[in-house]
Structure 1
Amino acid sequence: MQTSDARAAADEPTEPPAYNAISDYGLIGDTHSTALIDRNGSIDWLCWPRHDSPALFLRLLDAGKGGACWIEVDKLVSVSRRYVPETNILETRFVSRTGVAVLTDLMPVHPPETMPEEGPDGETESRLIRLLRCEQGAVAGRFVVRPTFDYARAACTVSADGECRTLFRTASEMLSATSTHAMRALEDRGVSDWALQEGAHACLVLTHGENGDTPPLDGVQDALERLRRTSHYWQQWSAACTYQGPYREAVLRSVLCLKLLTYSPTGAIIAAPTIGLPEAVPGNRNFDYRYSWLRDASFTVSSFVRLGYTREAAEYLRFLRHADPTHGRDLKLMYGIAGPVTPEQTLDHLEGWRGVGPVSIGNGAEGQTQIDIFGEFLMSLHGFLDAVDFNPPQKTNDHLPEAIQNLAGQVIKLRHEPDHGIWEMPGEPHQILHSKGMNRVALECAIAIGRRIGKPDEATLAAWQRIADEIKDEYRREGWNEARGAYTMWYGADQLDASLLRLVLYEAFDAHDPRVVASFQRICAELGDGDLLYRYRFDDGLKGKEATFSACSLWRVGVLALMDRTREATELFERLLERGNDLGLFAEEIDATTGEQRGNFPQAFTHMAIINNAVRLEKQIDAVGI
C-alpha cells in the first residue's frame, strides 16, 4: 500500500509494494476457494472458482505481471489485523491522521436450511466482500481491482457497467467488481474512490462467473447480512470443537484453516492453497500443493476426528469413494479435487516470489511409489470408525470389508518393494524405514477394523498379524545402523531422517526403547537447529538449502511427551507456537537463520501437527503429570 499526504483522493492509484514476507498473509475462503490478503489489505492470491482453478490475483508470485485487489487509505499512520473470533473472517484496522476505519474481508458461506446427510455443509456464492466502516473521525481512499486471469496469460477487457460496477472479461471468464461508490474503469483496472464520515460504509463486492449472470448485491445492507450469516456459520462450526485444553486458540485457528482447505462439493482436502512459494531461497524447491495427497488428507482427517469433526472425515471418505472406484485395489498417492491432477507445466512468464522460480502448476510426484500411504489412510480410517462407534454412513459401510481386504492386500503385495517415501525423494527408490514402519501400522489397523466388523475371518486376520510381526522384526533389524548408533532413512543408509519420530508417535517403535532414545538424540543433534528440525541434511538432487520442516519440529514435542519428558515438551510446544504469524498461521517450513516462513502457505501438514500434538500433550500430562 502506498500513501501520501500530498495526494488527493481523486489521484490515480499507485501499485502496491514489491513482495511481502510469506508470513504477512492471512487466509479467507468459503470451502471452494481461498484468498491470501496481506497485512495492508491487498488480495495477492485468488484462484476462482475453486482451489485448483487458474489464479486471477497472483501478485504473490509476480509483483509486476500478477494482479491484485488492494485498498489505499490516505494519510495512513498504522495498520493492524485480526480474525473475528472463531471465524475465517479477517478484519484489518487502518489508523490515519484523520480517523480510524476497519476493513472486513469475507467469502460468504451460509448454513443450509437443512443439513444434508452428505455433501457441502454450507451454501456459497463465489463472491468476495470487502466491507469498510469508518469507526472514528473521517477517512478517505480507494479500492483498486486489477485482475490478471489464467496466471496472467489471458487477455482481459475492462468496461464500466453503470456508475458503480466494472466488468473484467476474458474469452471464457468474467469478474464483476461492484462498489457502493462510483467506479472508474481504467485500462487494466477498476478504481472506486470514497470519503467516509464516522459510521459510514464503503463496500466492494467481487463476483466470479463465466457469464457474469450472478446478480450483484444490493448495497451495504446485503453485505452486512452476508457478514452476519457467514459469522454465524463459522462460529457455529467452531462451537463443535471438543478440545478445551490450554492451547484452544492455536488448535481452533489450525482446524479453521484445515476447514478452508476442504473442497466441499466433493469432500476433497488439499495440502495448501498456493503454488510456487519456495522452500529454499535461492533454489528450485517450488511446488503446486492444491491437490489432495492421500497422506496429507489422512492426517487432516485424523485431526478433524480428534476434535469431534467426524462429518469432515466422512466427507473425505465420500471423496475417495468417487476418486477410487476400486475400493483400495488401486489407491493412488494423490488426486485432483474434482478430476485428474493438472499435468505439470512451468509458467515461464512468472518470475516467482522475490524472483525465486520456477513457478509450476501440476505435480510430478503423482507418478511416484510411496508405500507409506496405506498406513496413513488406514490409521485415519480406524480413528474415524472408532469415533463413530463403527457406525459410519451407509455408503462408507457398504464397501468397508472389501476396502480393508484390498488395502491389506496392497501392503502385503508391496511390502518388499522400494519406494520414494514420505519426502517424495527424487531419484531411485529405496527400502525406506518410514514406509516399512507404516506397512506394519497399516496391517495392525486393518486387523483392528476387521475384528470390529467381523470380516475377514480369523484365519486371514491371523495371517495378517504374522506378516505384521515379520515386518516389525525386519525394520527393527535392517533399519538400525550400528556405526551411526541410530535408525537411518533407509536400509543400509548413513543419512538420518526425522520421519522416525512419526513412527514413534504411531507406535511402530517404543519411545522408551534404548535404540529409539539414541536415535532421537542423534536426530536432535544433527538435524536440529535450536527448536527447529530439518527433515534430513544431505544432497537430495534439488537446488538450494531447504529450510527446517515445521511438522518435524512439532513431532519432537510428541516424542518428548511419550518419553515422559512433558515439561520439555510443553516448553518446546509453546515456543514453536510463537513461530507462527500474528494470525496463528504457518507455512510448511521456517528458515532457521532469519525465522521467515518458507514454502506454500498456510500448510495443512503443519497445522494438523499443531492439533495432534496439543491433544497428545494434554493426554500425556493427564497420564504422567508435568
Structure 2
Amino acid sequence: MAGRIEDYAIIGDLQTAALVHRNGSIDWLCLPRFDSGACFAALLGGEDHGFWQLAPTGHNATPRRQYVKDSLVLETEWETPSGTVRVTDFMPQRDHRPDVVRIVEGLSGRVQMHGQLRLRFDYGSVVPWVRRVDGTRVAVAGPDSVWFGVEGDVHTYGEDFTTHSEFTVGKGDKVAFVMSWHPSHEPRPKLIHPYKALEQSLKGWRKWADRCSYDGPWRDEVVRSLITLKALTYAPTGGIVAAATTSLPEEIGGVRNWDYRFCWLRDSTLTLSALLASGYTREASEWRDWLLRAVAGDPADLQIMYGLAGERRLPEMLLPWLPGYEDSSPVRIGNAAVEQLQLDVYGEVMDSLYLARTAGMPIKKHAWNFQRSLMDFLESNWRDPDEGLWEIRGPRRHFTHSKVMAWVAADRAVRTVEAVPELKGDLDKWRAMRDEVHREVCEKGYDPERNTFTQYYGSAELDAATLLIPQVGFLPADDPRVVGTVDAVRRELEHGGFVRRYSTGMGADESVDGLPGDEGAFLACSFWLADALAETGRNDEAVEVFERLLSLRNDVGLLAEEWDPAAGRQLGNFPQAFSHVGLVNTAMRLARSAKGDTTEADVTIRG
C-alpha cells in the first residue's frame, strides 16, 4: 500500500520523474515521458503493480532524508542498531535515454540491505520477460525494455517475478544500481557510470540554481520550488506539466481523480511571471515558444491544455485493474476536460504574450497575427457561457472569471498596440469590447448586497478565482468591491485556515460541479489570498497566511494540489506546479510589499 502523498520525494531527468517514498521505494515512474505508461505504479495500487525498494533488511525506523543543496539529488539515511547507511537517488539529466541511479553507501558499522525490483509495464498490467545477459538483467515486454545493472558485491536472484538483491555495506563501502530504459527493438545500451553521473548531476543542478536572481526572504523555499518547476519541465519542448502523477485524489476514497501530466494554458501567465521574476529568462522563453506552437491554428479550436509537445488528442480512459490511491477510484489516464470551452484561456494567452513582450522577449510577427485572430474570435464569442477555469463537469455558465479574462485579452491587445504602433490592430473595436465586458461583469457578476463578486452571473456561490481581479488590473486593489470580495472569499470559502476553490457541497445534488464528494483547501488559491491581502494593505495577515502555507510542505519542500485540514495531509496530484508557482510569486510579492516597492514585475502581473 502506498504511503501518504507527503511521504514522497521527486527525482527526474527533465523528461519524466519518479516518486520515491521515505521507506526507499520508488512507487511511480513513467517511461520514457511524463505521460507514458508507468513501469512502477504501486502508488495507485499495490506492490503487484510495480515498485523498486532499497532499504535495510528488517528495519522499520523512519529515515532522515534531504535533497543535496540546490539539486534534485535525494539522500535518505537510516540509523540501524548495527550501523548507518545512505541511499542516494537521482536521474541524470537525459542525453539519450532515461536512467535511474541508486547508490548505497555505508556510513558506520555494517548494515544488511535488501532490494526488490518489480517491473510492471503499462501501469502495472504487463509482466515483462526477464533474462540475464552478461551479468546484467534485461526485462522486455512489447515496446519496452529495461536493463538493470549493479556495480559492487551484490547477490541478485529472481523470485515471484521480482529481482531481489542481498548485500551488506560497511563504513566507506558503496554499491551502485543503474536501471535504463530504451525501446526494445534497439541494440543493448551501454550503462552509464553511476559515480560520474552523480558528479555531473550535482554540478548541473547547482549551476542552474545559481542563476536564480531572487535574494529576498524565503530564498531557500523559492529555490526549492523553482527546482521543482524545472523538474516538471519537458526539456525537448519547454512544456511544463501540471504534476508528475495521475489520479491522486482530491478526496480520499472519492472520484475526483484526474490526470495532470499535461500542460495547462491556465498556468501560463503565472508561470512566466515566476520564471521571469527569478531570472530564468531562457526557461520563460522556452515556455512562451511552447505556448505559441501549441495554440497555433484556428482560434476556435483553442484548448485548455495540450500534451508535452503540444499534442491535442488526450482521450480519457479508465484503468480498472488499478484500485486507486487508498481505494480512490477510478484511475484515469488522459483528460476529457480538453474538450471543454473555457473562454478564460484566451485572456491567459494574450496576457502571457503581453508579459513576454514587456519583459523584453523579441516580438514574433506571426505571433501577433495569431493574437489578432484570437481577438477576432473572442470579440464574437465572449458573451457565450463556458465551463470555467476549474473545468467544471456540469452545465455551461457565465463564469465571472472567464469574463474578466476576456477583458484581460482586450486590455492586453489595446496596450500592445499603444506601446508598439507598428503592430496593427483595431483599437476602437478592442476598446469598445473592453468597456462592454467591464460594464457587464460589474453589473451581472457582482452582488451589491454582499459586496462581492460571485462565481457566475446570478449565483450566490463564490469563487477564489475572483481574488485575481486586482492582479490582472480589472479593478484597483483599494476598490471597495475588491476589498469586499477578498473578505467574502476568506469568510465563506475558508477551510482550516486556507481557502477552497469554490463551494463543492457534500453530494452531487448540492455540488456546483455536479460531482459527488468534497475536496480540500486549494493551495494555489490560498497563495492568491495572501497576494490579495498584501495588495489591499494587510501585509501582516498576508505573511501569516503565507507562512502557514509554507508549513504544509513536506520534509523535502514539496506541495501537492490541496490540503485536508481535518486529516492534516496533502491531497491531489504531486508535486503540483500550480502550488509551487504560487509559492514563488507570493514570496516575491510579499518581499516587495515589505519594502514598499511596486516594481515593473508587479505592474505586468496586474496589467
The one-letter amino acid paired with 1:599 is G
CA contact (8 A) 1:80 1:93 kept: yes
Q: Does 1:95 align with 2:104?
A: no
Distance 1:175 1:107 in 2: 15
Q: Which ranges in structure 2 are unaligned for 5 or more consecutive residues?
A: 505-510, 599-607
Q: 1:35 aligns with which of 18, 33, 39?
A: 18
Q: 2:431 aligns with which of 465, 473, 482?
A: 465
Q: Which ranges in structure 1 are unaligned for 5 or more consecutive residues?
A: 1-17, 110-121
Aligned to 2:545: 572
Alpha-carbon deviation of 1:465? Answer: 2.0
CA contact (8 A) 1:274 1:290 kept: yes
CA pair 432-78 structure 1, distance change in 2 beyond 3 A: closer
CA pair 50-358 structure 1, distance change in 2 beyond 3 A: same
Q: What secondary structure, in the 3-state scheme, does the structure 1 residue paired with 2:103 have?
A: strand
CA contact (8 A) 1:166 1:185 kept: no
Distance 1:301 1:173 in 2: 35
Q: What TM-score comes out, normalization by structure 1 length?
A: 0.90
**Larger CA deviation: 577-586 vs 171-180:** 171-180
Aligned to 2:167: 194
The one-letter amino acid paired with 1:466 is A
Alpha-carbon deviation of 1:152? Answer: 1.7
CA contact (8 A) 2:23 2:62 kept: no
Q: 1:413 aligns with which of 376, 380, 383?
A: 380
Distance 2:180 2:424 in 1: 56
Q: 1:55 aligns with which of 18, 38, 43?
A: 38
Aligned to 1:127: 99
**Larger CA deviation: 140-149 vs 462-471:** 462-471
CA pair 269-214 structure 1, distance change in 2 beyond 3 A: farther
Distance 1:282 1:308 in 2: 41
CA offsets 1:31-58 (integer angstroms, 9 cap, x no match): 1100000111110000000000001101
Aligned to 2:50: 67
Distance 1:448 1:426 in 2: 35
Q: Does 1:598 align with 2:571?
A: yes
Q: What secondary structure, in the 3-state scheme, does the structure 2 residue paired with 1:60 have?
A: helix
Q: 1:479 aligns with which of 439, 442, 445?
A: 445
Q: Does 1:494 align with 2:460?
A: yes
Distance 2:68 2:385 in 1: 48
CA contact (8 A) 1:305 1:383 kept: no
Alpha-carbon deviation of 1:384? Answer: 2.0
For 1:307-318, list aligned pairs within 5 A: 307-318=278-289
Q: What secondary structure, in the 3-state scheme, does the structure 1 residue paired with 2:105 have?
A: strand
Distance 2:58 2:321 in 1: 36
Alpha-carbon deviation of 1:341? Answer: 3.4
The one-letter amino acid paired with 1:249 is D
The one-letter amino acid paired with 1:215 is P
**Larger CA deviation: 314-323 vs 535-544:** 314-323
Q: What secondary structure, in the 3-state scheme, does the structure 1 residue paired with 2:558 have?
A: coil
Q: 1:84 aligns with which of 68, 85, 88?
A: 68
Alpha-carbon deviation of 1:485? Answer: 3.5
CA offsets 1:500-534 (integer angstroms, 9 cap, x no match): 10222222222211122222212111110242101
Aligned to 2:411: 444
For 1:46-445, list aligned pairs within 5 A: 46-74=29-57, 76=59, 77-109=61-93, 123=95, 125-163=97-135, 165-180=136-151, 181-211=154-184, 213-217=187-191, 222-326=193-297, 330-338=301-309, 339-387=311-359, 389-391=360-362, 397-445=364-412
Q: Does 1:563 align with 2:546?
A: no
Q: What TM-score comes out, normalization by structure 2 length?
A: 0.93
Q: What secondary structure, in the 3-state scheme, does the structure 2 residue paired with 1:272 have?
A: coil
**Larger CA deviation: 233-242 vs 328-337:** 328-337
Distance 1:312 1:149 in 2: 32
Alpha-carbon deviation of 1:597? Answer: 0.4
Q: Does 1:534 align with 2:517?
A: no
Q: What secondary structure, in the 3-state scheme, does the structure 1 residue paired with 2:464 have?
A: coil
Q: What secondary structure, in the 3-state scheme, does the structure 2 residue paired with 1:370 have?
A: coil
CA offsets 1:10-67 (integer angstroms, 9 cap, x no match): xxxxxxxx22001100001011100000111110000000000001101000014310
CA contact (8 A) 1:266 1:319 kept: yes
Alpha-carbon deviation of 1:82? Answer: 0.4
CA offsets 1:468-502 (integer angstroms, 9 cap, x no match): 12211211111112344321111111111111102
Q: What secondary structure, in the 3-state scheme, does the structure 1 residue paired with 2:176 have?
A: strand
Q: 2:582 aligns with which of 609, 615, 623?
A: 609
Give every structure 1 segment of 4 or more consecutive aligned residues whose post-TM-superposition deviation is greater than 4 Å: none
Q: What secondary structure, in the 3-state scheme, does the structure 2 residue paired with 1:255 have?
A: helix
Distance 2:268 2:173 in 1: 44
Distance 1:124 1:298 in 2: 31
The one-letter amino acid paired with 2:116 is V
Distance 1:615 1:78 in 2: 35
Alpha-carbon deviation of 1:390? Answer: 4.3
Distance 1:588 1:300 in 2: 16
The one-letter amino acid paired with 1:159 is R
Q: What secondary structure, in the 3-state scheme, does the structure 2 residue paired with 1:399 have?
A: helix
Distance 1:497 1:561 in 2: 19
Distance 1:171 1:125 in 2: 17
CA contact (8 A) 2:2 2:27 kept: no
Q: Does 1:550 align with 2:523?
A: yes
CA contact (8 A) 2:119 2:127 kept: no
Distance 1:257 1:566 in 2: 27
RMSD of aligned residue pairs (Cα, Å): 1.9
Aligned to 1:4: none
Distance 2:481 2:445 in 1: 11
CA contact (8 A) 1:278 1:356 kept: yes
Distance 1:383 1:124 in 2: 34
Distance 1:103 1:341 in 2: 40
The one-letter amino acid paired with 2:54 is I
Distance 1:179 1:82 in 2: 24
Distance 2:482 2:296 in 1: 40
Aligned to 1:9: none
Q: What secondary structure, in the 3-state scheme, does the structure 2 residue paired with 1:159 have?
A: strand
CA contact (8 A) 2:253 2:326 kept: no
Alpha-carbon deviation of 1:418? Answer: 0.7
**Larger CA deviation: 462-471 vs 20-29:** 462-471
CA offsets 1:59-99 (integer angstroms, 9 cap, x no match): 00001431000013035344110011111111111111111
The one-letter amino acid paired with 1:355 is D
Distance 2:503 2:303 in 1: 28
Alpha-carbon deviation of 1:407? Answer: 2.4
Distance 2:313 2:169 in 1: 47
